[in-house]
Structure 1
Amino acid sequence: MKLLVKALSTLALMLAIGGSALAQEYVKGEVIKVDAKQKKVTIKHEPLTNLDMPAMTMVFVVAEQSMLDKVKTGQPIEFTADRVNGRITVTDIK
């Protein structure tokens, strides 16, 4: 019985953690600068609620170099960002 309770508790914790990652919403922003050499993009963005960050302009690294092919300076975008290896990273761009 203890094993079943432990297994269900572990499953509930995994779902809670996984659910927050799946619930990540796209945020609107505007591309200010693209730095392909450094694999970075500067974005003026709305609040990033998943990171508890207010609206601002900041430099992000991108998860994949190919994301930079989708954007250009002045372009409005929708994107997701998260902490990856301790760095705030753009994880997807629409």
Structure 2
Amino acid sequence: MNRMIRIAAAAVLAVTLGGAFAQAAAINGEVKKIDEGAAKITLKHGPAKSLGMDEPMTMVYRVKDPALLKQVKVGDKVKFEAEEGDGGYTVTTIQKAK
């Protein structure tokens, strides 16, 4: 029985910490330009700690899935996640900020 309680507690802790890390990775920004043909988006954003960027900046990002570009328009405030790869930075998720 004690083993089951420890396993359950560990699972709850892992889910809780995983959620905290996922939220910390979200970056607040604003859509400045969308280039559907090149599958790129220009975002003005605050610090992006998950990418090692401590200062606000405006950058062009590739998008992992071009369908993401249909979810937003220029001027939208957004929350997004991105990852660094060999060819630069790629937006993996994006949604309008609430």
TM-score between the two structures when normalised by the length of structure 2: 0.69
Structure 2 CA distance for aligned equivalents of residues 38 and 70 of structure 1: 16
Q: 2:63 — aligned with what?
A: 62
Q: 1:50 — aligned with what?
A: 50
In the TM superposition, structure 1's runs of 4+ consecutive aligned residues that sit over 3 Å from their partners are none
Q: SS where residue 23 of structure 1 aligns?
A: helix
Q: 2:92 — aligned with what?
A: 91
State the identity %: 37
Distance apart, 1:51 and its partner CA: 1.2
Distance apart, 1:55 and its partner CA: 1.1
Structure 2 CA distance for aligned equivalents of residues 23 and 76 of structure 1: 22
Unmatched 5+ residue regions in structure 2? 1-16
Q: SS where residue 73 of structure 2 aligns?
A: coil
Structure 2 CA distance for aligned equivalents of residues 42 and 87 of structure 1: 13
Q: Which moved more, 1:83-92 or 1:70-79?
A: 83-92
Structure 1 CA distance for aligned equivalents of residues 86 and 68 of structure 2: 18
Residue 41 (structure 1) aligned with residue 46 (structure 2): no
Q: Show CA shifts across 1:51-80 (max 9, x none).
A: 111210010000101000001001100000
Structure 2 CA distance for aligned equivalents of residues 86 and 32 of structure 1: 21
Q: How many pairs does the alignment contain? A: 75
Structure 2 CA distance for aligned equivalents of residues 82 and 23 of structure 1: 14
TM-score between the two structures when normalised by the length of structure 1: 0.72
Q: Show CA shifts across 1:9-62 (max 9, x none).
A: xxxxxxxxxx89x82421110000000000000000011101111210010000
Q: 1:82 — aligned with what?
A: 83
**C-alpha RMSD over aligned residues:** 1.9
Unmatched 5+ residue regions in structure 1? 1-18
